Amino acid sequence: MVAFEERIRDPVTGLPIELFTWEEVEKELKPVKIRYERRKGKDVTIIENLPLSEENIWNFLKETKKILACGGTYKDGYVLLQGDHRYKVAKLLREKWGIPEDQIEVE
């Protein structure tokens, strides 16, 4: 008879610790921050803490640029869009990507 090895479990969910990717769990707990900045005389919208996988972030960026008719990029963990699109992006995140309104902060 083989001895049963007790796995370390998460105290909240009771699931084995090795099943979690903590970066993803942590990412989902942080609110999405949408803010406006002026860089080199141009308006930019910065979106941080998106609770999406890398692949979905690129899909989000592609779709958002098409809808808003603007340029943009994804780097260093945030999405950067050309122009001030804070409220339009918040609406897109709620309606198309299913992110709850209480998880979105517009600055």
Q: What pLDDT, in 10s, does the model give residues 63-84?
A: 999 999 999 999 988 999 999 9
* pLDDT-above-90 percentage for the chain: 54
Residue 84 parent element (H or E): none
Residue 24's pLDDT is what? 56
**In which band, very low, low, confident or very high, does the pLDDT at 98 lie, cut at 50, 70 and 90?**
confident
Residue 28's pLDDT is what? 59
Q: How many whole angstroms separate alpha carbon 15 and alpha carbon 7? A: 9
Other Cβ atoms within 10 Å of 45 Cβ, number: 24
Q: How many whole angstroms separate alpha carbon 73 and alpha carbon 58? A: 9
User: How high does pLDDT run on average in the chain?
Assistant: 84
Structure tokens that stand for 40 in this block? 């080199």
Block residue for tokens 């517009």: 106
- What does pTM read for this prediction? 0.72
Q: How many whole angstroms separate alpha carbon 67 and alpha carbon 52? A: 19
